[in-house]
Amino acid sequence: MSKRGTDRQPRDDGTALGHRVPSERRRSRPESVRSVESRTGTRYGGADRSARARQFGRSALCLSGIALLTATKFADALTTGIGLRFVPTVYEANPAVDAVLRRVGVETGLIVSSCVLVVSIIAITEIAAVAVSIRRRDGHLAPLVRLVGYGLPSALFALVAVYNTTVIVAGLRSIELI
């Protein structure tokens, strides 16, 4: 019976198999998970950003968040347009959107302001998600950034659409169309 550790074969560097060299302890993660910096030598190069995004398995855009945001903003714009068109007591509460509506009309103004708002929210959310995933090595906060970036505005637009619907129903009841 041999003593513990004496049956190990020596390696080229003089250490026994099974023992880690100090440089191996630092590299505890496998090669596929290590940062781009360790393979290329550059930390924030342009080509490294897309490789890093693919490395963490994150999609470039969160399509479900964009779909939810678009749907809730469409519901908000639709109920606002119906209210402005058919209920005389309804007005646009946002002064910036009201100025656009007065200048170009209700339909065009709602389409333009809704598209600009949705594109702005998407751009800000995606830029923030990419910045967080580049800043953090594991990129696990990017989905949280997308959840907040798409979730909060979507919830707000849904609440506004429900409120608009109640105002429309109350307005139509007051003029006895329902």
- 7: pLDDT strictly greater than 60: no
Confidence of residue 39 (pLDDT cuts 50, 70, 90): very low
The rounded distance, in Å, linking the Cα atoms of 24 and 44 is: 25
Query: What is the sign of the dihedral through the CA atoms of 152, 108, 103 and 82?
Result: negative
Burial of 10 from C-beta contacts in 10 A (0-12 / 13-18 / 19+): exposed
- 73: pLDDT strictly greater than 60: yes
Report pLDDT digits (tens) over 98-140.
999 999 999 999 999 999 999 999 999 999 998 888 887 777 8
Confidence of residue 75 (pLDDT cuts 50, 70, 90): very high
CB 137 within 8 A of CB 36: no
Report pLDDT digits (tens) over 137-149.
777 888 889 999 9
